[in-house]
Copies of this chain bind each other. A is one copy, B any other.
């Protein structure tokens, strides 16, 4: 059943909820999901609502315009409208480690996610065989200091050609440049192998080992210009002991990384993440 999904935020005022639900109900839309939240500190109203289109009286292609004119203007809303029958198109960036990409492709192949994955990009050829196993084009762009800018231009051409709507960095061991980040705002999902903001940057498991922490973590976040500081989508942790060596941490961490990244990607695909002021609202 085809549905519309509307995510919005605006200054909180009485009546918004009633008006938005009224718009849908009056026009014979069957609401199947509603989650809202008010940030009382900032006085911002956040909402996600989903309704069935079958009986909805407003034609699909006019909903955005009607909603903008009737409500968004009036309330100063920032909103996005999605349709369940339009699948987002996702590119995976990898380097040499396979645990995250396998986890993603296993879900994809099993049909768990409403997404298309037409493209894998890597700075190394090592995981070419993964693309082949799952029948997904795998493009290698070796990166050096000298060629980085040029290679990213070519990558972005490819992303356009494949009409990619968002990017997943599945342990891609390269810093993405600002141009690409600007082109995909809140649309590049990274997995960092630490419990951010602890252990920003390279070799977080080594740093965790040296500090003697009793728990390690992984963090999935949208990529912003500053390293490892973008809006956090999901985090999780696992307990360790003094007996765990650095290879043990890496091994335990891999399970965290892939699950945390996949949870974040799933939330993104389901249109349940709203980034706002370097944080995220994660709808239920």
Which residue numbers of A lie inside 8 Å of B, CB to CB?
14-15, 17-18, 21-22, 25, 30-32, 34, 36-41, 97-99, 102-103, 106-107, 109-110, 112, 133-134, 195-199, 211-215, 217, 231-237, 239, 241-243, 245, 251, 255, 259, 262-263, 278-282, 284
The secondary structure that dominates the A interface is mixed
CB distance from A94 to the nearest CB of B (A): 12
* Residue numbers in B under 8 Å from A41 (CB-CB): 245
Is B17 a contact of A251 with CB atoms below 8 Å? no
CB distance from A8 to the nearest CB of B (A): 15
Please report the C-alpha to C-alpha distance between residue A36 and residue B49 in the assembled complex, in whole angstroms: 12
Please report the C-alpha to C-alpha distance between residue A11 and residue B39 in the assembled complex, in whole angstroms: 29
A106 contact from B34, B36, B102, B259, Cβ within 8 A: B102
Please report the C-alpha to C-alpha distance between residue A107 and residue B254 in the assembled complex, in whole angstroms: 10
Q: Return 5 A-B CB contacts under 8 Å, by A number.
A: A17-B21, A18-B21, A41-B245, A196-B213, A212-B232
* Residue numbers in B under 8 Å from A212 (CB-CB): 231-232, 278-280
* Residue numbers in B under 8 Å from A39 (CB-CB): 242
Please report the C-alpha to C-alpha distance between residue A245 and residue B41 in the assembled complex, in whole angstroms: 8
Which residue of B is nearest A217, CB measured? B215
* Residue numbers in B under 8 Å from A112 (CB-CB): 251
5 cross-chain pairs, A with B, having the tightest CB-CB distances, nearest first: A212-B279, A102-B106, A198-B198, A18-B18, A14-B25
Is B251 a contact of A232 with CB atoms below 8 Å? no
A34 contact from B36, B279, B280, B284, Cβ within 8 A: B36
* Residue numbers in B under 8 Å from A198 (CB-CB): 195-198
Please report the C-alpha to C-alpha distance between residue A214 and residue B219 in the assembled complex, in whole angstroms: 9
- Additional A-B contacts beyond A39-B242, A242-B281 (20; CB < 8 A): A14-B25, A14-B31, A15-B25, A18-B25, A32-B38, A37-B243, A99-B110, A102-B103, A102-B106, A103-B103, A106-B106, A112-B251, A133-B133, A195-B198, A195-B215, A197-B211, A211-B232, A212-B231, A213-B232, A255-B262
Please report the C-alpha to C-alpha distance between residue A120 and residue B199 in the assembled complex, in whole angstroms: 36
A237 contact from B106, B231, B237, B284, Cβ within 8 A: B237
Is A241 a contact of B282 with CB atoms below 8 Å? yes
Please report the C-alpha to C-alpha distance between residue A83 and residue B7 in the assembled complex, in whole angstroms: 33
